[in-house]
């Protein structure tokens, strides 16, 4: 190796290291060489079309908008007589291009070396691959990808023009380039191509986002994107510190379905991955649990074991009201949550009966028929009658403080006598009264009902009441 070649190689490698970031250019440690990754930035509104399965006559077309395509990777070693005589030895690989396309690019790199007349060429190669790859291969929007492609032969990714991206007319010119051993096909299968493109596009977008400066709409501070988060649907950006506090307050209050964008009237929702990235492990565990529970509550074929010590999730078979808990093996009726009773009507608890009564009264005819079929018509009618009676008693009567008998006050003063146990009590405060002198409760100045013996009475016959102060209420 001449001193001039050694100096030019060292200068070129140092220049590349200073121009490009570490993830774009990596210099080899032991040999004069390295690895160059060229990310392909796409024009605005670039689309990917994914065709359906032709075997199943599916003509559906899925469209994706992308901004970046996976990198071309150029691995090179500089021979001792580079650049005075020999070109760099290299391989060119990519995770979405096929071998005929890569072979065509290798031919272009060789042409650029010859045109540079034995001068350093790595920077020119990088510029070509970065700026002219798409136009040279005639790749433009929309980029079409078939969902399922036959892979029965060894040369599926080699010289089969149907595996290239683009129309058949655009690919005819590529067939003129012979397969180059330096072109390395890095596509595991055609099914992996779409995943590779979308994953890389997402990671590259995040990298660009991290390097920008944004103003948080909550605290109005300017911060780098790496310290911010954006909602995917609306692209509104907030700093992570503000969102962390906002998310944790909502999760502690149980509002796991309300982790939406703070922008007024915006309906974008944070993804579970975004929530996990911001909050503590303890808070996220609560979020995950509540989110699962709220999701299960919306599923009509999912119930919980009614045993308080179990509460396991139970899946119901379609049209079946019997549930069998996978944890404690308890067989129960999903309607009344009691032990399974076959075709017998449900025996409902008071609170369940009350809710069922309200549902029945507010239902239309078809819904009433369904409820009657599930719970029995007589059960529902009796529930309506009993609960209506209870509502009337709650509104028009008061319980005796001794025996609980419902007492209705028809007329008279506020000293009442229970017709069941003969206990005297005050109608106003339901306080038991002395048998010896029940009226002392109303004449005692320390009593809350002082001078309230006739409170609330309509005196139409005041003289008759004064003559008979012992006129008590009845049941």
DSSP 143: E
Q: Distances from the Cα of 117 to the Cαs of 85, 86, 104, in angstroms?
A: 9, 11, 21
Residue whose entry in the numeric block shows the structure tokens 């369904």: 370
Closest by CA position to 157, among listed 98, 216, 227 = 98
Tokens 């070649």 belong to residue = 5
* DSSP, res 325: -
- Which of 177, 149, 179 minimizes the C-alpha distance to 163? 149
Identify the CA nearest to 120 among candidates 155, 84, 93, 83.
83
CA distance 244 to 429: 52
What single DSSP character describes residue 322?
E
Is position 413 annotated as part of the catalytic site? yes
CA angle 413/418/421 to nearest 5° reads: 155
Rounded CA gap, 420 and 472, in Å?
13
For β-strands 237-239 and 322-324, DSSP reports them as: unpaired
**Helix then strand then coil, % of the chain, to nearest 5:** 40, 20, 45
Calculate the alpha carbon distances from 464 to 329, 467, 471 in Å: 70, 5, 10
- C-alpha 196/C-alpha 187 separation (Å) is 9
- Of the residues 106, 325, 413, 418, only one is catalytic, namely 413
User: Are the CB atoms for 452 and 467 separated by under 8 Å?
Assistant: no
Which residues make beta-bridge pairs with 183? 92
Q: How far apart are CA 222 and CA 212, in angstroms?
A: 10
- H or E stretch including 47? strand 47-51
Q: DSSP of 349-402, one letter per residue?
A: -HHHHHHHHHHHHH--HHHHHHHHHHH-HHHHHHHHHHHHHHHHHHHH-EE-TT
**Residues identified as active-site:** 413
């Amino acid at each position: 190796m001449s001193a001039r070649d050694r100096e030019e190689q060292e200068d070129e490698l140092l220049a590349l290291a200073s121009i490009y970031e570490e993830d774009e250019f990596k210099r080899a440690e032991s040999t004069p060489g390295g690895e160059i990754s060229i990310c392909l930035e796409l024009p605005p509104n670039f689309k990917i079309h994914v065709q359906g399965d032709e075997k199943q006559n599916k003509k559906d077309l899925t469209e994706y908008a992308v901004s970046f395509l996976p990198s071309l990777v150029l691995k090179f070693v500089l021979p001792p007589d580079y650049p005075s005589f020999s070109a760099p030895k290299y391989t060119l690989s990519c995770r979405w291009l096929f071998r005929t396309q890569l072979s065509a690019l290798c031919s272009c790199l060789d042409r650029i070396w010859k045109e540079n007349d034995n001068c350093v060429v790595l920077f020119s190669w990088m510029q070509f691959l970065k700026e002219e790859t798409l136009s040279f291969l005639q790749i433009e929007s929309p980029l079409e990808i078939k969902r399922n492609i036959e892979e029965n032969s060894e040369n599926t990714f080699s010289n089969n023009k149907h595996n290239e991206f683009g129309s058949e007319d655009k690919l005819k010119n590529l067939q003129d380039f012979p397969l180059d051993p330096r072109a390395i096909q890095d596509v595991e299968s055609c099914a992996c191509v779409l995943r590779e493109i979308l994953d890389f596009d997402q990671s590259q977008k995040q990298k660009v986002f991290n390097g920008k400066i944004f103003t948080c709409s909550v605290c109005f501070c300017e911060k780098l994107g790496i310290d911010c988060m954006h909602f995917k649907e609306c692209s509104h950006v907030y700093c992570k510190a503000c969102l962390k506090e906002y998310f944790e307050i909502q999760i502690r209050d149980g509002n796991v379905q309300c982790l939406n964008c703070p922008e007024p009237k915006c309906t974008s929702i944070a993804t579970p991955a975004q929530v996990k990235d911001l909050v503590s492990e303890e808070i996220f565990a609560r979020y995950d649990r509540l989110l699962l529970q709220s999701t299960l509550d919306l599923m009509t074929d999912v119930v919980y074991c009614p045993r308080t010590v179990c509460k396991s999730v139970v899946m119901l078979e379609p049209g079946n009201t019997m549930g069998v808990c996978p944890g404690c093996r308890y067989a129960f009726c999903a309607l009344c949550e009691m032990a399974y009773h076959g075709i017998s009507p449900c025996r409902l608890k008071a609170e369940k009966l009350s809710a069922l009564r309200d549902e029945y009264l507010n239902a239309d005819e078809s819904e009433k028929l369904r409820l009657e079929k599930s719970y029995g018509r007589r059960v529902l009618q009796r529930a309506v009658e009993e609960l209506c009676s209870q509502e009337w008693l709650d509104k028009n009567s008061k319980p005796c403080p001794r025996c609980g008998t419902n007492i209705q006050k028809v007329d008279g003063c506020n000293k009442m006598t229970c017709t069941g146990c003969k206990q005297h009590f005050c109608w106003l405060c339901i306080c038991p009264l002395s048998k010896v002198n029940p009226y002392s409760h109303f004449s005692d100045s320390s009593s809350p009902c002082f001078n309230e013996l006739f409170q609330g009475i309509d005196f139409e016959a005041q003289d008759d009441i004064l003559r008979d102060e012992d006129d008590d209420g009845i049941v």
